[in-house]
A and B are shown apart, each in its own frame.
Chain A
C-alpha cells in the first residue's frame, strides 16, 4: 500500500518556484529519505503534505485517499523545528499534542523515557537545550504509536551521541514495520538509515528509487605505478574494457558494486611486467555522488 503519493506538486513563493511538479510515492514499511541541499524544497513539500502550506498546483494522497485532518492524527511529524509552548513544561506540551491527536495520553511518560527526557519532564520548554527541544519533538512524534512518521532533519542540533541514538531509533521503528519519511541534507544520514530516496534540487525531483541503486552504484579502484604511461597501456589491455580516469599520479578504475577484483588487477599488471606501488579499493565517495547528482 502507498502511504503517500505526491502528484505533480508545485509551489511558488512569489516569483520563486520552490517546487516544480514533483511526483513520487512512498510505500508502506520503507524508510524514505528526501535528500537535497538547503533550500531544495524538502520542508516545503512536507509542509504541503501537512496542510500548513497551500500548493500552487498538484495534489497528494495519504493512505491512497484524499487527505483529511484525521489522517494527520495517525502520523507523527517533526517539521523543521520543534514547535512548542515555551511557557509550558515538556510534559504539558505533550499532553496538548496527545489531546489533539486523540490517540490516548497514557504513553506520555513512555515516550519521554524513550528520548531520555523523563527527568526533565516538568521543566519549562524554554529552559531546554537545543538538543532537548529536538528530542521532545521526536517524543511528540512517537505519541500514540503511529504507523507513519515524518522527520524533517531529525538530527538537527543533536550531539554525536544523540545523532547515533536517533538513527538507532529510526532503524528500530523500521524493524517494527513502521513507515518513516525523513528529509535530510546529510547524504551520509540518508545512506545509513533509508531504504528509499528521492533527491530534490531547487524544487526539481532529480531521482527517486531504491537507495542502493541511486546512491551507490560503483566502486573505484585506485592504482599507481612509477611509469604512469605504461600503466595506462597495460590497463587498456584488460578485459572487459574499463573506464579509467587519471587522478594526479594515480589511475581510477570504475567497477559495478562488488565486481572489483584487486588480485586480478595485480596479477594482470605483474604478468605484463609492471609492478604496482599503489592499489586500493574505494567506495565512491558519497559527496562526489551527491555533487554529481545535483550538478547536472
Chain B
C-alpha cells in the first residue's frame, strides 16, 4: 500500500485545488471553534444566568464533545476533496490509464479508500489539537474524559467521505456529483429523516427510524452539546446501537465501492 500511496501523492502533490481545499478545511476547524468560543465568551461575560445555562462547553472534559460537534459541520469539505480527486480521474480518463499501465482495479479503488481514511485521520488529529487548544485556554484541568468524541468524529468523517466516494463512482462528473452530495447530505436525508421520525413516532420499536439513515446515524453519535443542563437534544438510542450501525454502514460503503469499481466499464 505504501508504494500505491506514494503514487497517489505524486498525483495530488501538484494539484492546487486539493491543497486549497485541504488548507481551508483545516483552518476552518480552528476557525469555527474559535467563533463559537468567542461568541460564548462575549455572551456570558457579564451575564451569570446565561453562563450557568451554557455551562462550560470549552472546558475539559466537555471540550472534546463541543469541538467534535462543531468541526463535524465542516465535513462536507473533505467530501468535496474526495469528489474532485475521484471525478478528476474520470474526466482525464486517468482511471483508464492507471489500469492500462498495470494497476489492478482493486488497487485503484483501495488507494482512494486509503485517501479517505488518511484525510479523516488527519482532520481528527487537527480536531484533537483544536480541542486541546481551547480546553487549555478555558478554566479547568486537562482531562481525557469524553475523548471518545474524537473517535466519533473520525467515524463521522469516514462516513461523509465514503458517501462522497460512492457518489463519485456512480456519477463520474464532478459538478453533478458535488450537487447531489450537497442535496443529499444537506436536504434529502434531513427531510426524509424528519418525515420517518414523524411517521414512526407512535410505532414503539420503530420509533425514530429517521435517526438511522446513513448520515444521520453517524451525526447522532455527537449530539448537540450546548444547554445540556437545560434540555437534551438528539436521539434516545444508546451509543452502542449507533456505533454498530455506523460500522455496518461503513462496511457496506466499502463493499459497494469496491464492487462497483471492479465491475464498471471505465
Chain A interface residues toward B at CB < 8 A = 47, 50-54, 68-70, 72-73, 77, 79, 81, 83-89, 92, 95-97, 99-102, 140
Contact = CB atoms under 8 A, between A and B. Distances in A.
A53 B266 contact: yes
Contacts of B11: 85, 88, 96
B237 interface: no
Contacts of B105: 51
The prevalent SS among residues of B at the interface is helix
Given A53-B266, A88-B14, A101 B97 contact: no
B244 interface: no
A103 to B, nearest CB: 9
Given A88-B14, A96-B7, A100-B7, A50 B92 contact: no
Given A52-B265, A73-B102, A86-B92, A97 B97 contact: yes
Contact of A100 (B92, B95, B103, B265): B103
Contacts of B96: 50, 52, 79, 83
Query: What bracket does the count of chain B residues touching chain A fall in?
Result: 20 to 34
B107 interface: yes
A50 B100 contact: yes
Contacts of B264: 54
Interface of B: 3, 6-7, 10-11, 14-16, 88, 92-105, 107, 263-266
A13 to B, nearest CB: 8
A69 B104 contact: yes
A101 B101 contact: yes
Contacts of A85: 11, 14-15, 88, 92, 94
B110 to A, nearest CB: 13
B10 A84 contact: no
B101 A97 contact: yes
B103 A69 contact: yes
A264 to B, nearest CB: 55
B155 to A, nearest CB: 32
